Structure 1
Amino acid sequence: MKKTLVRKNNLNQFIDKDNKVFIVDDSMIISPGVKDVLKEMDINIVYGKLDIRKKVNKKEEINENNKALIEKIVTIIKVDFNICDIDKISEITDTVLNRINT
């Protein structure tokens, strides 16, 4: 698997500025200075997958409205509840989508 080196000069492309969170997945290598910069910027580090839409809601084709909803649900789960386990996030997201759609 190809790894991405996250440094000060490419850091901004990985920050979710709306939620003040930096999502780290297993494909990233973080340089030592990045954590210091994130702390100075008051950005929380969340460990987990960047895109779990592939695992979420496999039974249905994900339309554009669901994509936005799924991303909001995932962000709430990760940021507000600090849950980063992809299987748990997928399970919770599926449950929420099923309850909304029934």
Structure 2
Amino acid sequence: MFGFHLPSWGALRRPLPFAALHVVARAVPVAPCGWVFFDGSVTRVETDDGAGLIIPGGAFFPREARCFATIAEAEAEAARLNEAGLCLDRPWRVKPVSAFRPQRERLRHATAAL
């Protein structure tokens, strides 16, 4: 009676679980969780001597960060940010999202092991 069908978009990919992703972050002790996460945005600035710099956009929480599916993609982005950025004393690093689980989850897992 009714002829419903889905359009052919090719194979539908399941999204990766959030904890399996990686972020690019740099240690900032005064940030809420001690890290600032790269959010994917950049501001390009040209200095007086003509050198081009980028100022990466930052987020305070991993859920606001740009996530990468592979370590290789995240490492390439971290290298690009470190090469063209201003923050040489605290470089951008690749971290798994799972390293930033909320404290309550860590406590729940710790008490479950007892």
TM-score w.r.t. the length of structure 1 is 0.27
Q: Give the structure with the larger strand fraction.
A: 2
Q: Which has the higher contact order (CA 8 A, sep 6+)?
A: 2
**TM-score, length-scaled by structure 2:** 0.25
Structure (1 or 2) with the greater helix fraction: 1
Whose Rg is larger? 2
